[in-house]
Amino acid sequence: MKTLKLSVIASALLATAGFSQIAQAEVSANFGATSNYLWRGVTQSGNAPSISGGLDYSNESGVYAGTWVGTIDWTDETSDAKGAEVDFYLGYSGESEGFGYDVGYVYYYYPSTGYEDSNFGELYFKGSFGDLGFGVSYTINSDADNDAPFGTGDLYYSVSYGFELPNEYTLGLTYGYYDFDTPTSESDYGHFQVDIGKGDFTFSISQADKESGSDDTNFVVSWGTSF
C-alpha cells in the first residue's frame, strides 16, 4: 500500500495571455521547513524533517499555476532511500458575494528510484465562506491499480475553520476523510488537525485513524515564507 501521504506551465500561460493580463500577473516563490511532513494526516517524511520550495504564477483573471517540491522518505513502505515529491497544479479561483471558490487539477509526481507506480492526479474543488472552508478531491488518473488505495476513483473530503486569537496568533481546525475506491472500506480513514500559527511559524497537533497506518498523535513545528 502506498504511503499516505512552474516554470513550464507559467511560460505556456504567458505565451497565450493578452498584454494586459501579463502586466497584471504575479510570480512568487515559497520556501519552508517542517519537523514532519504530514499529508492528509499521515507522515510523508518518515516522521523526520522535510524541506520544500515552490513557484507560483497568478493573474487577476483568477487563473493560477505552480509547482512545489518537498523531500520525502517512505522507507517503511516502498523504498530504501529518500526521495522527492513534485506537484504540478493549474486552477481558477475567485469570489462571489462572500463565497470563495477554487477549482483545479494537481499531479503528484515521484521521480526517485523506488517510488515507481506512485504518481497520480486529482481534480479538486475548495470553497470558503468567512472563516469556514471545505473541499473535495477526486483521483482521475493514477499509476496504482484502480481497485487499490490511491487508484483512480478515490475521494478525499475536508472541512476547516479558522480563528483569530489575541497577540496576532491564529487557530485552525481541520477534519479530513479519505474514501478509497476499493472493494472494501478497510483502508478508509479520518484525521483531525489543530494548527496554531504566528508569523511564519506553525505548531500542529495531528491524529489519524488506525486504518491510515498509524494512530499516533503527531506534534509538528513548521516554518514557511514567500517572496
CATH code for the domain of 102: 2.40.160.40
pLDDT digits (tens, 9 = 90+) for 142-167: 999 988 999 999 999 999 999 999 99
Name the nearest CA neighbour of 123 among 87, 168, 155, 170: 155
Which sign, positive or negative, has the C-alpha torsion 193, 36, 103, 14? positive
Within a domain: 153: yes
State the Cα–Cα distance between residues 86 and 132, nearest whole angstrom. Answer: 29
Identity of the amino acid at 24? Q
Within a domain: 37: yes
Please give the pLDDT value at position 75: 82
DSSP state of 167: G
pTM of the model as a whole: 0.88
Instruction: Give me the domain span that covers residue 124.
Output: 7-226
Q: Does residue 7 register a pLDDT over 60?
A: no
pLDDT digits (tens, 9 = 90+) for 70-93: 999 998 654 467 899 999 999 999
Q: Does residue 130 register a pLDDT over 60?
A: yes
Within a domain: 2: no
Within a domain: 1: no
Q: Going by C-beta distance under 8 Å and a sequence separation of 6 or more, which residues neighbour residue 134? A: 126, 127, 128, 157, 158, 159, 160
What are the helix (H) ranges across the chain? 7-16, 19-24
Paired with 42 in beta bridges are: 39
Which sign, positive or negative, has the C-alpha torsion 41, 80, 50, 91? negative
Number of domains in the chain: 1
